[in-house]
Amino acid sequence: MKRDVLWRIEETVMRVLMIGATALALGCLALILGAVVWKGLPAMSLAMVTQCPQGGYYTGAGGGILNAILGSLYLAVGATLVALVLGLPIALYLQLYAGRSRLIEFVRLALDVLWGIPSIVYGAFGFGLMLLIGLRASLLGGIIALSLVELPIMCRAIEEVLKMVPFELTESAYALGTTRWEVAWKVVVRQALPGITSAILLAFGRGIGDAASVLFTAGYTDHLPTSPLRPVASLPLAVFFQLATPFPSVQQRAYASALVLTAIVLIISVLARLASTRLSRFVVK
Amino acid sequence: MGAAVLVLLISAGLLVRAWPILRSQPLKELLLGRTWHPMQGAFGFWPFIVGTLWVTAMAMAIAVPLCTLSAIYLAEYAAPGVGRVVKPLMDLLAGIPSVVYGLWGVLVVVPLIREHVGPWMDRHLGHIAFFSTSANPTGYGVLAGGTVLAVMVFPIIVSVMEEVFRSVPDGLREAALALGVTRWIMVRKVLLRRAFPGVIAAVVLGFSRALGETMAVLMVVGNVPQVPRSLFDAAYPLTALIANNYGEMMSVPLYDAALMAAGLLLLLVVLGFNLLAQLVLKRMGKVA
């Protein structure tokens, strides 16, 4: 009887702790978003998002972070395209062409390992690679490093989606005498398109927020990107550099830049969710 | 196949770039040396390695108990509706850029530690060196870095753990519950035991993630190349070392090779941990 009571107490205590732990994590999310909005909104202005930094910007003169916003978009779009072009075939191959051979297990393991490699290591590797081919910090270099970061994220997300394609669908296509390529391209990719769209957006969202990989590979500049061989600014680095200045008015702009970055990431993540739910009415259930 | 080649290529690339320093200095000197004076040719990674370990260990000490509780809740207790709300929010947490985490650390966590946590700990436990703020009362330090990292790895660890718990067969749960124990006792005596390797794997994954995180840590950890003695001391992790010095390294001989060696070291450690965790998870998947 006594043990019974102890169990009940333990049950209640643990249940409270468990809910508390989950609530704490969500509370941190609210705190982060709250802090960014609360600090960023007062520093926000039209000039921030429509102008490039003017002379003396980093000591408090006028201007905005249009260079970083556009730079980040260029970098992330480029890297996402590269990652998609490389990642989609890898995922299709793993899911459709290869059975459960030892080699496939190995490739999958390699992908998981790639997923875990820190982005600063990709940045350092990308930089080494650029030195090797005589490329300086540039949009192109940033795209290369960033696509390495995005590739495993993209592969993993697409593979998850491909797994959901009903077995019967591919089987009936095969029964009609199609080749694997036709099944992959005309049936599976089409069926999985909503999920693939959301995987692309997921990788894009990760890419646009990643700072460590573009730190040396993309450089930083106050000008708009004009050529793939010129350095390019990015939002995460804009936050970082502006926060590192000793001037409060410039630090304010770091808050505003963080708000812009967070807003982009949030919008992307909502779009990703919408893509996987809204677009799913176009697929075979 | 490309993926596997890429892993090798990255390791090889870093090794080639790091080769000059690996050849000119004995490995022991490099890893255990305590002085970092690139100008004089002294490249001791020890303070940075210890700094990385301190911050990461701090993060895990905070995150692991909370993550385990949260994952058990989500896998075993929560109604499906709760999961549908919590999951997207966790994904959101995972998707927040690291500089934004860093900014949050600077705006919220560091002041909190400087104004409240630090003084309180120092007053009550200050005689123990581990809790003393006397060396560094600024708030920028191991605890701030660990706290920010803990929040960052939370969604990753929880999602892996939740999957691990869900892979435990229902028969085991039902057998335990049929004996008349409460649900938590079932979790403690059956679920956690069965899922133990997977839980460890999830922790290792989170650990290696935390190890490689750069920007957020860099912004709150203080960046003083020393071996920390207290929770509140500043540290200087390997990732921050690479990020902070890449700009000016080209002018000093061997400097870039040293930083590449730091990158290689990070890569190897993360690679090892990841392989271990993935192998355990795969095996678990086959057993369950």
Give the model confidence (pLDDT) of B1-45 as tens digits: 566 677 777 888 888 877 777 777 777 777 777 777 777 777 888
φ/ψ of residue A207, rounded to 5: -65, -45
Say yes or no for a CB contact (<8 Å) between A209 and B103: no
Q: Which chain A residues have a beta carbon less than 8 Å from that of B205? A: 116
> Which of A9, A28, A111 is the best substitution to test chain B (most B C-beta atoms within 10 A)?
A28
Pair A211, A75 in one domain: yes
Q: List the domain boundaries for chain B.
A: 2-287
Q: Which of A34-43, A220-229, B173-182, B188-197 has the lowest mean pLDDT?
A: A220-229
Please answer yes or no on whether A236 and B242 come within 8 Å at the CB atom: no
* CA gap A265, A205 in Å, rounded: 5
Tens of pLDDT, residue by residue over A14-72, are: 999 999 999 999 999 999 999 999 988 888 888 777 777 776 677 767 777 888 899 89
CATH number at residue A240: 1.10.3720.10
Token pair of B162, please? 């939740």
Q: For chain A, positions 40-99, list CB contacts with chain B under 8 A.
A: 86, 90
Cβ distance A240 to B102 less than 8 Å, yes or no, reads yes
Q: Domain span at residue A167?
A: 50-282
Query: Do A107 and A243 have their domain in common?
Result: yes
- The verdict on ipTM greater than 0.90 is no
Average pLDDT, chain A: 86
CA of B280, closest CA in chain A: separation in Å?
12
**A164/A66 same-domain check:** yes
Let me know whether A146 and A258 are in one domain: yes
| Chain A hits for B4, Cβ within 8 Å | 106-107, 110
B151 touches chain A (CB under 8 A): yes
Residues of A in contact with B241 (CB under 8 A): none
Contact A129 B13 (CB under 8 A): yes
Mutate to test the interface with B, among A6, A11, A14 (most CBs of B within 10 A): A14
> How many residue pairs from chains A and B have C-beta atoms closer than 8 A?
225
Q: How far is A252 from chain B (nearest CA, A)?
A: 11
Facing B69 at nearest CB: one of A21, A28, A262: A21
CATH of domain B2-287: 1.10.3720.10
Q: How far is B123 from chain A (nearest CA, A)?
A: 26
Distance from CA of A176 to the nearest CA of B (A): 30
A256 and A206 within one domain = yes
pLDDT at B121: 84
Q: Is the pLDDT of residue B286 over 60?
A: no
Determine the pLDDT at residue A20: 94
Same domain, A61 and A6: no
Least confident of A16-25, A97-106, A272-281, B62-71: A97-106
pLDDT digits (tens, 9 = 90+) for A86-133: 999 888 888 877 666 777 777 878 888 888 888 888 888 888 888 788
The segment with the largest mean pLDDT, out of A60-64, A80-84, B137-141, is A80-84
Specify the number of domains making up chain A: 2
The reply to whether A123 and A10 lie within a common domain is no
